[in-house]
Chains A and B, each alone.
Chain A
Amino acid sequence: MFDTALTANDFIFLAKGAGMTIFVTAISVFFGTILGIVFGVIRYQLGPFWSAPLMFVLDIFRSIPLLIQLVLTYAFLGTVLRLGMSGLTVACIVLTLYTSAYCAEIVRGGIEAVPLTLRRAARSLGMTWAQDMRSIVLPLATRVALPSWIGLALGVMKDSALVYVVQVTELLKSTQILITRLQEPLLLLMICGAFYFVISFPVARFGGYLEKRWSND
């Protein structure tokens, strides 16, 4: 069953695809998280009414298939505005916004989980808003938000499989290229699936561990 025409070269090719998956994920999660924190704090500070326009836009990213977001953005930036961006740039932009849309909700939930009385106490001790946010809210909200955030980051990694539509050769796409040439779909798909699993599973377990540890104190 495992006599295969797969060569060392092909493994390097797959590894390049895997590298691309990790690269796109890292960029999007990094910038998406920063944006998400900003959006989440804005959402919390402004209240539901004034932040409604922002929330509406972010909600769109959660209500439309990522595949369509990618195709549309690519077509819009390229076809309509003629910006001539590479598919990789478009993929990173869309995935960053996509991440930030989910991250904003997580951040807001985290902030809301910090008891208001605690924050009032901090403020009455003379802390400024910034000090309160940094020394009181940040550590406590992180505990609530981190497990969900890990879930989000892993979700983005799995969703990055869709950036093939904008000509980015990530892991799943490189697998398909090899399948086309070698015609060994099952073996190659197993390798591909195993790769995702190997990265995702330990991190997910770690997230579960944190959640358990932090919720019992």
Chain B
Amino acid sequence: MQPTAEQRRWMYRHMVLSRYLEERIEALYMEGKTPVFNMAKGPIPGEMHLSNGQEPCAVGVCAHLTADDIVTATHRPHHIAVAKGVDLDAMVAEIFGKATGLSGGRGGHMHLFDGDVNFSCSGIIGEGLGPAVGAALSRQMQGKPGVAVAFIGEGAANQGAFHEALNLAAVWKLPVVFVIEDNAWGISVAKQAATAVPRNDVRAAAYGMPGHHVADNDVEGVYAAAGEAIARAREGLGPSLIEIETSRLAGHFMGDGEDYRPKGEKEGLADPIPRYRAALLEAGVLDEAGDDALVAEAHERVEAAIRFAQQSDFLPPEAALETVFV
């Protein structure tokens, strides 16, 4: 399955958008956290998990989705949220904890919910699996179109929830796709030290579903595998599993010293964005002027979202008591 020129530019544009968003978040996150790193300080307190390097997973999958389709994402959600079309202003405002944020600041960067595009994420490993299966069940029972995609990391494939969810989805032949972003690290523990099989896509066989493997963080490889899996789900043929070799270019979270990474390992990882840019230029899908315009537009969009967040107020503290129940 080949993406169209328009889809290629869409994927590239959303990678650029996500990356620039995270570069700006990174800078803003560090405000107030130097010289002594204190997670509680600065305009963006708390944990911050950047997805730099993992953008191909998000865009290659979401290129096949509409707002109606459901996505559950992980504690490292920004690239997926951007690709799924989550309202950028409200998302950034949420990351700042502001009143105009997706949930008025109750959730923060690990708990982003945008019902308009059926996006949610969670801070607990593997937690999006059950809800994705349930959303797929909901569509199947209601006879409504739509597939659900659960993004997880490779570490989550060792959670009980992973095996329960895959089995349940297969037993009920649900329109759901499980996408593993294999960045090779579960915080500080290497994949090979934690996982009994070198590749998680082989685990699909245990649940009678197709397993796909995408090597080398390849945008169009993700696009092809996801296209096949999502088409299968839409046709009512049941779930699929995809594992994507991707790259965690940053630490597990900001402030992570990453002493556990072997020397040169991170430096050896290719940044997927310049690589895809070069491929698109060479294919004639993009020219330099077009790229400049696309990048400038992405930067402008991100800056506007950041301004929106910075200019927004916080909810009064006692608003913490609201929305426990509806």
Q: Check if A and B associate.
A: no
